[in-house]
Amino acid sequence: MLRLILRRLLAAAPNLLGVVVITFLLTRALPGDPAAYFAGGSATREAIEQVRRQLGLDRPLPEQFLRYLQDLARGDLGLSLTTGQPVLQELMQRLPASLEMVLLALVVACAVAIPMGVLAATRQGSWIDQVCRVVTTAGVSLPTFFTGLLLSYVFYFLLGWAPSPLGRLDPVFSPPPGVTGLYLIDALIARDGALWWASLRQLILPVLTMAIFVLAPIARMTRASMLGVLGSDFIRTARAGGLSAPTVLFTYALRNALLPVITTLGMVFGFMLGGSVIVEKVFGWPGIGSYAIDALTASDYAPVQGFVLAMGVLFVLLNLLVDVLYVLVDPRVSVDA
């Protein structure tokens, strides 16, 4: 297992280097001049050039790239020109907010989609199968921003059941002492039930928005994988041997059907990291997605490069986790190739 992890990490190094190079070039190719932005709309050409020299943007691209690589080697992602804070520090402060929302949405989606897919596969043509098809079709048809705005309008504006969809916590509460950065876990550590409930209420609408977005591919893959396994010879042999229906379904069928579902979960989690940018803007969520959008609007290179690099690292870790789960679910599976 350790050799597998080391091999995967070494194989991912060229990919991360490619992400660094492409991100550096694309940020420089985007329209907009950060020097003109920070000099102000009424700045003279001389003032803009002075700002450009201070930012090091007057130097040749190869020299800028080498300086960027040297900073990365020291763990320095640069300074955000809009906030004046180190990019690494701001990413570490905002990343838990994004992960808390995405992970909880993935748990909710799996808790609904996997049982729905199993039931739809075991009861083909029934009303459960029809409901599964309707839900999956709606999930892939509704954009996340529309779903988020609709949920906010219904549950906050019309019914008043949900809190104001702005931020991670109601202004009357103070954030819990920072341990993990995840408010639900930190509130439990602080043994503050009221704070935990307030944090959960703020999460409900964005989590539902993300969960609806990813329900469809998980449910569809679970249903298709279960249908393929249930028609296999070893399932018919298990039934002929007198094993009970729950044993055949969960011990044999579901476990063998999980590998394609795990692959889908890995892909879905990647989509959720990208889709969280829109959800964060809709709900005023202070995650790294909204941070990157604000930096991109201001042509602030360092936060955008740091965001893309953080996404690349998360994808590498996600693929590594999928490989490990393959081995844990079915030790016969080889991931050495």
Q: What is the pLDDT of residue 197?
A: 92
Handedness of CA 216, 219, 223, 229 (dihedral sign): positive
Q: If we measure between CA atoms, which residue out of 258, 156, 264 comes closest to residue 209? A: 156
- 329 has a pLDDT exceeding 70: no
Q: What is the pLDDT of residue 67?
A: 81
Residue 59, CA distances (Å) to 20, 62, 106, 190, 295 in order: 19, 8, 45, 50, 22
Q: What is the pLDDT of residue 334?
A: 55
**Least reliable range by pLDDT among 26-40, 107-121, 299-313:** 26-40
Distance, CA of 270 to CA of 153 (rounded, Å): 28
H or E element at residue 16: helix 2-29
Residues 6+ apart with CB under 8 A from 200: 184
Tell me which amino acid residue 173 is: F
Q: What does the domain layout of the chain look like in residue ranges?
A: 2-60, 87-329
Q: What is the pLDDT of residue 55?
A: 67
Q: What is the pLDDT of residues 23-71, one digit of tens each?
A: 777 777 766 666 666 666 666 777 777 777 776 777 777 877 888 888 7
Mean pLDDT of the region 131-144: 77
Distance, CA of 57 to CA of 52 (rounded, Å): 5
Share of the chain above pLDDT 70, in %: 90
Distance, CA of 203 to CA of 319 (rounded, Å): 26
CB distance 1 to 324 below 8 Å? yes
Residue 326, CA distances (Å) to 48, 184, 263, 308, 322 in order: 55, 29, 9, 27, 6
Distance, CA of 335 to CA of 337 (rounded, Å): 6
Residue 128, CA distances (Å) to 98, 114, 123, 125 in order: 33, 13, 7, 8
Q: b/e for 27-63, b at 16 or more Cβ within 10 A?
A: beeeeeebbbbbbeeebeeeebeebbeebebeeeeee
**Least reliable range by pLDDT among 20-24, 95-99, 249-253, 324-328:** 324-328
Lookup: tokens for 85: 């804070």
CB distance 179 to 185 below 8 Å? yes
Q: What CATH number labels 87-329? A: 1.10.3720.10
Tokens 């803009």 sit on residue: 48
This model's pTM is above 0.95: no
Q: What is the pLDDT of residue 337?
A: 47
Does residue 108 or residue 59 have the better pLDDT? 108
For residue 79, give the 3-state DSSP assignment.
strand
Q: If we measure between CA atoms, which residue out of 248, 294, 207, 243 comes closest to residue 122? A: 248
